[in-house]
Amino acid sequence: MNTAALTVKQLNLYVRSLIEGDPRLAGVLVQGEISNFKNHYSSGHFYFTLKDSYASVRCVMFRTFASAVRFSPEDGMQVIIRGKVSLYEKDGQYQLYAEEIYPCGAGESALLFEQIKAKLESEGLFDAARKKPLPAFPEKIAVVTSDTGAAVQDIINILSRRWKLSEIILCPVSVQGENAVREMLTALDRIYSIRGVDLIIIGRGGGSAEDLQAFNSEELARKVAGSPVPVISAVGHETDFTICDFAADMRAPTPSAAAELAVPDCKDIVLILEKYRRFLSQSLSSKYSVCKAKLDKNTNSFVIKNPREFLINRRYIELDRLYDRLKNTACGSVENMKTKFSSAAAKLETLSPLKVLSRGYAAVEKDGGRISSVKDVSAGQEISVRLYDGVIKSNIIEISKEKNNG
């Protein structure tokens, strides 16, 4: 033989590639009974065997998928596994790698539920941003439910008791069975065409998982999500969840709770209104007292009671103020002039010729003109000598010049 021998690992890897290359084994559903179940808490992985009366297969479920399982698997439990088949080359045994696990009976429905939920969630149909707020005081409320169950009576009774101002539009439909989805879709279309509807309640009372299947319809979920007005979904009991709950703007745990969420309690509103009434009454009373006190003060004032005297006194006061201003201004001006005059008189006295004459000097004049040099006179002429206290008339006898004047 010229063909080279394979190692055991190569053989197992080859077989593994054949198994993983088969698309029929990439997403297989397998039903059986769990045995030898082990939960490795340290790693989070599940290891178990799935068997029936004739065969068994080893299974592993890694932590990523195991963390999403909503129940606790146990030995002897009938389940449906969705996963892929592969071979673990180390020991040469093929095994089922589980990705989803559901209790048998509810398994197919649960799988369908998760598939629809994941699909619509990926489209953003459940995003909180698209949820519409409930109206504070709805005037028209449409109720989509069975007209024979206890749920409709609970809703009507609670709505009527809490808020009598709301008009209730009852749209009776089947809530389970093959016609339920179609009837609910038709009812919603009819409600969407009615003018003035503020809120829609859709739901039913409790029941088994099979009884609630109509509310897991993808078509119904899209119809609810596309509602032009807010929708409250109230299906089953508090622990029940349906696709309709996720698509609605608000989920109520029960139909009775939906009615309580839909409308305010008139008793609470009365208490709030009474609180505001007292507040407004106190505010108005306080404002009235303040304004009345101001009015009384103004009414009793001197101005209102004696307007003529007030105006005359006001004029007198104004005249007194103007007189004081004029007097102060005039006195200031006179004092200023007196100061200037005294300063000028002092300066004039300093420069006065009489002041000079009083110190023993004399002024010589001839024919009314002042003589300042001997050149201006000659012997025999008459001159006037002005002294401090009078004038002397005299004749010039002789003229002599100072030597230093040439």
Two structure tokens written together for 197: 């509807």
Q: Is residue 165 part of a domain?
A: yes
Same domain as 371, residue 250: no
Q: Is residue 61 part of a domain?
A: yes
Structurally, how many domains does the chain consist of? 3
Same domain as 238, residue 139: yes
> Using CA of residue 98, residue 104, residue 110, residue 111, what is the dihedral sign?
positive
β-pairing verdict for 199-204 and 140-145: parallel
Q: Is residue 191 part of a domain?
A: yes
Report the pLDDT value the prediction gives residue 279, as an integer from 0 to 100.
93
Report the pLDDT value the prediction gives residue 310, as an integer from 0 to 100.
67
Report the pLDDT value the prediction gives residue 184, as an integer from 0 to 100.
97
pTM of this structure: 0.51
Q: How far is CA 139 from CA 124, 156, 168, 195, 233, in A?
A: 30, 14, 9, 11, 19
- CB-CB contact of 89 with 16 (8 Å): yes
Report the pLDDT value the prediction gives residue 209, as an integer from 0 to 100.
78
Report the pLDDT value the prediction gives residue 306, as an integer from 0 to 100.
73
Examine the fold and report which residue of 264, 283, 308 is the final residue of a domain before the chain moves on: 264
Residue 252 sits in a domain whose CATH number is: 3.40.50.261
Cα separation of 175 and 242, whole Å?
A: 13
Of 286, 128, 180, 284, the residue nearest 202 (C-alpha): 180
Same domain as 251, residue 207: yes
Q: Is residue 283 part of a domain?
A: no
List the domain range (segments joined by +) for residue 377.
Answer: 356-396
Report the pLDDT value the prediction gives residue 405, as an integer from 0 to 100.
57
Two structure tokens written together for 263: 């409308």
Same domain as 141, residue 26: no
Same domain as 67, residue 132: no
Q: Is residue 331 part of a domain?
A: no
Residue 61 sits in a domain whose CATH number is: 2.40.50.140
Cα separation of 305 and 307, whole Å?
A: 6
Same domain as 228, residue 136: yes
By residue count, the chain amounts to: 406
DSSP secondary-structure letter at 129? G
Same domain as 159, residue 55: no
Strand partners, 140: 167
Q: Is residue 304 part of a domain?
A: no
Report the pLDDT value the prediction gives residue 200, as an integer from 0 to 100.
97
- CB-CB contact of 183 with 173 (8 Å): yes
β-pairing verdict for 93-103 and 56-61: parallel
Same domain as 200, residue 73: no
Q: Provide CB contacts within 8 A for 344, sequence distance 6+.
A: none
Same domain as 24, residue 57: yes
Same domain as 174, residue 81: no
Report the pLDDT value the prediction gives residue 48, as an integer from 0 to 100.
96
Same domain as 169, residue 45: no
Q: Is residue 210 part of a domain?
A: yes
Cα separation of 213 and 177, whole Å?
A: 9
Same domain as 254, residue 139: yes
Cα separation of 250 and 262, whole Å?
A: 10
- Output the tens digit of pLDDT for each of the chain's 406 residues: 556 888 999 898 989 999 989 988 988 999 999 999 999 888 999 999 999 999 999 999 999 999 888 777 888 888 889 999 999 888 889 999 999 988 776 556 776 788 788 889 999 999 999 999 999 999 999 999 999 888 999 999 999 999 999 999 999 999 999 899 999 999 999 999 999 999 999 999 888 878 898 999 999 999 999 999 999 999 988 888 899 999 999 999 999 999 999 999 999 999 999 999 999 999 999 999 999 888 888 777 766 767 777 677 777 778 788 888 888 888 888 888 888 888 887 787 776 676 666 666 777 888 777 887 777 788 778 888 777 778 888 888 888 877 665 5
Cα separation of 226 and 244, whole Å?
A: 12
